[in-house]
């Protein structure tokens, strides 16, 4: 049997599209029992699931905190509170081994009272009083959320307060009585990607329909957002036209509600901090007689820049092996910097291992100091507690090193020792394992780094069950991180774990990402295959014992391993994946990724896209490794359509060992709580050991 799915009219499985399509759901519900019977009924499944869940619910894990005024807030999930508690305490109380917490909002109780299985999606407090907040709640774990105003004094929702129904809203405070709102305003208010295209200012006490429009993006744009920079003494309002994932126009909204375009390259990352503008160009930028390379960090006085001056000062310039890594700022998500009141903290990577620097403007110059210490092949991160002090949080972790959380101050310099507040527990005996970094050579000679985690006494006999993980897209870097319960579910079962830092990611800055964009996409897959070949050549494993795992864009990656390199792998775990690259722009938020993959509606671009569209490259004459496709009905970002269609097509072609599992909740993470996460992790472990275990 063969199928021609190059045209939707000839796509025999297009009926499996549609998140809530009843026929598609019926098919998925028929598939689930088959997969569950195969991988959740073994004698080791329940004990291991309970062990993993116990680790995920450990009361000893670090409760991450953020300071809102004088209170320190945390969102906590455990066995008794699977959907979670938003709670708060004091810093002195937090320092104790068992702090006393005040419950702010019980998500489980709220869901029970309202008859909805709410999933918490965050809180946005109003500075500087911190008496009000916006709470984001998803009905199923998908990206779309309801927004409600909450009183942080009475700990109740404000009945006549700001409220937005479920949508992919982008909203935030301007002041107590005004919000920036970009949401589903009705007909023609969304982009082709399904995100808001209209930004309005909404005044308290007025209906949303009377909110004042300040900007409208085009339907073909990705979205539009407005946000308020609340840094005291340097407040600004901005509107951003997000053209696509990598291009944007930023406007300053002045007191007269006029939009003034900030003259930047449209692929530059932008932020303002105090009186400074911060710019990170993603392409070489010729300005004021100078040329700044891609991935630089540049600054100058914001007002002077807006007045036309261009006396830019470099705060970072990348090298052959170094890049400015993506550190999330405390004030907004449109840039990659972490700031306190008087200092900027930079994270700089060299061959995917990072270090920190503190930058301080003083007397017209920028001083820099090294900051923090980290073990080899580990990850250090630091960020400002708030922008009204020089306090910072710091975490240190590694593949075998549980995270630690410290609190420090930069008031007396970067060398002042931070206070250790909390230490995550160990979930497995790390003393038996080792971490090493290696480099594979891709088809075009590019040097591709990868991390390998294995037992110290590993025998290089080609029989070690080895799991190779990757992503390779959207300038996302795969840094070292504590394996946690993965140590229980994989390492302690005899597995070897490998992370590949392939092109398409951000490990070496924007150019590493752009090296695998659109028509260059195959470079990422060649990189990943080169790591697989290096593992096989080292004899730590062999194709029969090597598996590939990835999710989302990483699911597309391993989908291409399945269709392009089936001879290298003994199993594939493909999660919440893109797979039908001809119709991806018409499924969920797919149109927002055209800048990454290309537009399949343009014939010249479909020519190269087809080369990495797994759905169109299945060959019934080939022998494929066993594959497990997992997704979620509520995934309104990628959509479950891809996994459904791919699995159904392979099964219809008579390909053996094609398994499919669709969770109902959890959105793009495919798990709404820790119990669902533990279940899925162990199911994957059972699948892997069945097909690539030493006995196979």
User: What count of other Cβ atoms lies within 10 Å of the Cβ of residue 107?
Assistant: 22
Q: Is 597 exposed, middle or buried (0-12, 13-18, 19+ CB in 10 A)?
A: buried
Q: Is 205 exposed, middle or buried (0-12, 13-18, 19+ CB in 10 A)?
A: exposed
Catalytic residues: 552, 668
Is the CB of residue 82 less than 8 Å from the CB of residue 108? yes
Give dist(CA 518, CA 612) in Å, integer: 10
Q: Which of 317, 206, 211, 679 is nearest to 489 (CA)?
A: 679
Helix/strand/coil for 645: helix
Phi, psi of 594 (to 5 degrees): -60, -35
Q: Rounded to the nearest 10 degrees, what angle do helices 674-692 and 45-56 cross at?
A: 140
Residue with tokens 């905190």: 65
User: Is beta strand 627-632 parallel, antiparallel or unpaired with respect to 571-575?
Assistant: parallel
Q: Which of 301, 318, 316 is nearest to 346 (CA)?
A: 316
Residues 6+ apart with CB under 8 A from 493: 465, 685, 689
CA distances from 42 to 34, 151, 295, 324 (A): 14, 49, 50, 46
Give dist(CA 419, CA 678) in Å, integer: 33
CA distances from 196 to 57, 520, 547, 668 (A): 36, 30, 39, 19
Is the CB of residue 171 less than 8 Å from the CB of residue 196? no
Phi, psi of 611 (to 5 degrees): -65, -25
Ordered alpha helix ranges (H), 267-418: 302-306
Q: Which of 134, 230, 229 is nearest to 183 (CA)?
A: 134
Look at phi and psi of residue 260 and say left if phi exceeds 0, alpha if psi is from -120 to 50, else beta. Answer: beta
């Amino acid at each position: 049997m063969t199928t021609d799915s190059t045209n939707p009219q000839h796509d025999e499985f297009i009926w499996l599209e549609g998140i809530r399509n009843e026929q598609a759901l019926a098919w998925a519900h028929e598939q689930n029992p088959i997969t569950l019977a195969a991988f959740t009924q073994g004698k080791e499944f329940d004990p291991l699931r309970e062990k993993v869940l116990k680790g995920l619910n450990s009361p000893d894990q670090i409760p991450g905190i953020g300071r809102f005024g004088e209170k320190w807030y945390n969102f906590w999930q455990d066995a008794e509170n699977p959907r979670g508690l938003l709670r708060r305490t004091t810093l002195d109380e937090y320092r104790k081994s068992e702090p006393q917490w005040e419950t702010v909002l019980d998500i489980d109780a709220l869901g029970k009272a309202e008859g909805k299985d709410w999933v918490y999606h965050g809180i946005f407090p109003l500075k500087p009083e911190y008496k009000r907040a916006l709470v984001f709640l998803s009905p199923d774990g998908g990206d779309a959320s309801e927004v409600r105003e909450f009183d942080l004094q009475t700990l109740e929702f404000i009945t006549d307060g700001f409220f937005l129904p479920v949508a992919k809203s982008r909203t935030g405070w301007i002041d107590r009585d005004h919000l920036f709102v970009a949401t589903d305003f009705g007909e023609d208010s969304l982009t082709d990607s399904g995100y808001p295209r209209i930004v309005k200012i909404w005044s308290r006490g007025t209906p949303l329909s009377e909110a004042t429009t300040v900007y409208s993006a085009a339907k073909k744009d990705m979205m539009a957002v407005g946000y308020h920079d609340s840094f005291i003494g340097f407040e600004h309002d901005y509107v951003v036209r997000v053209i696509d994932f990598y291009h944007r126009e930023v406007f300053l909204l002045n007191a007269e509600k006029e939009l003034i375009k900030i003259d930047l390259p449209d692929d530059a990352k932008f932020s303002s901090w105090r009186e400074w503008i911060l710019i990170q160009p993603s392409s070489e930028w010729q300005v004021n007689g100078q040329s700044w390379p891609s991935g630089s960090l540049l600054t100058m006085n914001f007002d002077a820049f807006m007045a036309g001056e261009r006396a830019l000062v470099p705060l970072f310039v990348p090298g052959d092996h170094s890049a400015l890594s993506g550190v999330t700022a405390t004030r907004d998500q449109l840039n990659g910097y972490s700031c306190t009141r008087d200092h900027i903290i930079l994270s700089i990577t060299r061959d995917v291992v990072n270090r920190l620097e503190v930058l301080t403007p003083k007397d017209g110059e920028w001083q820099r100091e090294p900051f923090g210490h980290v073990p080899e092949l580990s990850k250090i991160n630091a960020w400002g507690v708030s922008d009204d002090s020089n306090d910072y949080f710091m975490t240190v972790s590694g593949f075998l090193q549980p995270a630690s959380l410290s609190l420090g101050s930069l008031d007396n310099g970067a060398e002042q020792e931070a206070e250790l507040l909390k230490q995550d527990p160990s979930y497995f005996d790390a003393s038996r394992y080792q971490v090493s970094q290696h480099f594979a050579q891709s088809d075009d000679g590019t040097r591709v780094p990868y991390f390998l985690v294995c037992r110290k006494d590993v025998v290089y006999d080609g029989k070690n069950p080895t799991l190779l993980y990757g992503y390779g897209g959207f300038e996302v870097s795969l840094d070292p991180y504590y394996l946690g319960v993965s140590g229980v579910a994989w390492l302690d079962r005899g597995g070897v774990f490998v992370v590949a830092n392939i092109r398409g990611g951000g490990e070496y800055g924007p150019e590493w990402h752009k090296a695998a964009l659109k028509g260059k996409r195959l470079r990422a897959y060649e990189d990943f295959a080169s790591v697989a070949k290096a593992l096989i050549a080292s004899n730590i494993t062999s194709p029969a014992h090597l598996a590939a795992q990835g999710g989302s864009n990483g699911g597309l990656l391993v989908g291409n391993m399945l269709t392009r390199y089936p001879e290298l792998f003994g199993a594939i775990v493909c999660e919440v994946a893109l797979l039908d690259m001809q119709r991806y722009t018409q499924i969920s938020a797919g149109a927002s990724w055209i800048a990454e993959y290309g537009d399949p509606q343009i014939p010249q671009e479909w020519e190269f896209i087809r080369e990495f569209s797994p759905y169109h490259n299945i060959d019934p004459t080939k022998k494929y490794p066993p594959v497990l496709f997992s997704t979620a009905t509520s995934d309104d970002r990628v959509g479950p359509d891809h996994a459904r269609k791919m699995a159904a097509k392979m099964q219809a072609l008579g390909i053996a060992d094609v398994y499919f599992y669709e969770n109902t909740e959890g959105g793009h993470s495919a798990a709404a709580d820790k119990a669902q996460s533990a279940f899925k992790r162990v199911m994957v472990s059972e699948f892997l050991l069945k097909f690539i275990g030493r006995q196979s």
